[in-house]
Structure 1
Amino acid sequence: MTFSPPVEAALAAVDEGAYTTGPDGARLPQTSSPTVIATMLDLLDVTPGARVLEIGTGSGYSTALLSHLVGDAGHVTTVEVVPELVTRAEELLHNHGRRNVEPICGDGAKGAPGRADEFDRVIAWATSARIPDEWVVQATPQAVIVTPVNLTGMAKTFGVARVRCEGEEMVAEQLVPGGFVEAHDQVVDQWLVPPYGADAVTRDGEGCSWWLSAEWLRTRQDSDTLGRALLDRLMLDGRPAPGPLDESEDHNGFYGFLLATRPQGLTTAACGEPVWRIGYASPSEAALISFSDAQRAFHAGDGHALQVLAGWADSWRAQGQPAFADLRPTLRRIQDGWQVRVHL
């Protein structure tokens, strides 16, 4: 995959391993694929001299790339909630001559303290439930914001949005696949259970996490009991089955279709493994596929859930098998920011 000349030059100029590898030689968990990072930086369209606010310093690798992109005349302010990562990144950036960066330890959802109307670009590496007002206030007119966002209100339903500020208004310009750990104002010490959005959580006999997230669960007063009962059934009776798509079909497009149409019974889950699933569930049954593989399903019940999932796939085909790129992001003003949703 190739990227814009400025991003390609930044990738060539920054030693990824110096930032993403720990003293023991292991890759830091708080870093993303260089391809994902480069894709988002292309969306951000950073120019020399720009002032950038980065939410989520992580390993510092993306910060170094931004430092190169803005050049000596620009500046990067990077905010990270984990103090140890701030200290580590500050030392690495200093040792590599990145003098145009200011690391700050704090809650990234609040942006950088006291920086109103300052940043030409804002980029985040953690999934937010909405685009916070604090980022918008700190952005200049016509600024661009690129961030992973939750697209349904259910856990692990995300995409990366490019949004432009238009005075007091916001315009959603583009949406691409991608997602990161949920943004949180506290240090997250595990990666398997979302810090928010899961409606029922339990563990199996081996200590592996199982969780469910669904709007239909939230309408029930006994949602936790109901959710745990369904998780127990998946643990006891869950088994593999053929999925609704074949190898030649666009699995990512089907996933996007489900996020856009949000059919009744749509559910996200994890079934004792570090893979998140999406599919249909009711109080008594479920049929779930992984986000990247709709050829195989995991289900419990008499087969009705599999039929519903297959029906959703037929609806997707009937509409021409829209791809993720066919989704249209929309913005809705809410109390403390801007909510992003998608439509066909």
Structure 2
Amino acid sequence: MSAAESAVSDGVEYTPTALDRDAVTYVAGHRGLVGSAIWRHFEAQGFTNLIGRRSAELDLRNREATFAFFEETKPRYVVLAAAKVGGILANNTYPHEFLAENLAIQLNVLEAALAQKVERVLFLGSSCIYPKFAEQPIREDALLTGHLETTNDAYAIAKIAGIFQIRSIRREFGLPWISAMPTNLYGPNDNFSPKGSHVLPALIRRYEEARLTGAPTVTNWGTGTPRREFLHVDDMAAACLHLLENYDGPEQVNVGTGEDSTIATIAAAVAEAVGYEGETLWDTTKPDGTPQKLLDVSKLADAGWTSSIGLTDGIRSTVDWYREHIASVRE
């Protein structure tokens, strides 16, 4: 039986409805790219009892501390956006850390939530869970049908484990918990570190520094030909609330725009947004990663949601945010 077939039905009977805006709602990872956007959106939508903890206050890799936190706060809803994340370089350099730390975070949070019988949990993963050469656009049932991209396979395995933990809890305990797999995200509070960032914030930093220093050229990794789909994190936050209130099922839901562009096209858009007028070069000795990664977002559309922030506008607003916060951005 395939993963998709095993996920067709699990006997959970639940009708999604509007969340109680006054209920205790825990956003794990509320200071990160995704978590901070979810916090902003939930606040804007009237949630009055949001809770979060910085990693210095609560280490989610610590099982005892995580269970104690859930026992103390007793959240009704949980969004699990906490994770160790990074780009190709970070994933390829530290695969064990990406595997072990994400497994620990997921296991502790989900088991602590289970101990408290949390009503509704949303687990967030990544589109890298799908095979490197999956048919495009990638449907949810492509999961476990082929080999992963080797540069981030450890991280992907951890996220796949999270999906199956959600499915297992649904099947064994009947709790209506769900999973969502976003495409490449960007926006305020992103990681702009040269060694730890994903492609779009890395491009923003690289081109902005080249503009400021007057560098005649900018060199990017790879060939520029791979195609990527990007979703603004504010759109992602809106999709999260929409899914919590309108979707239930054991299968993960893809979250994206349904459109992609080449890395070269995206680089050109970033250069224009920052006002860089020099030449772009490509270091073809560096890896490209997956040739194309475009999500099929039909399931999300069927649930009644589509993205609203265009890539050009999203890049411009992210450049503006980066310039305003350059002294305090994550390194």
Question: TM-score scaled by structure 2?
Answer: 0.33
- As a proportion of its length, which structure holds more strand? 1
- As a proportion of its length, which structure holds more helix? 2
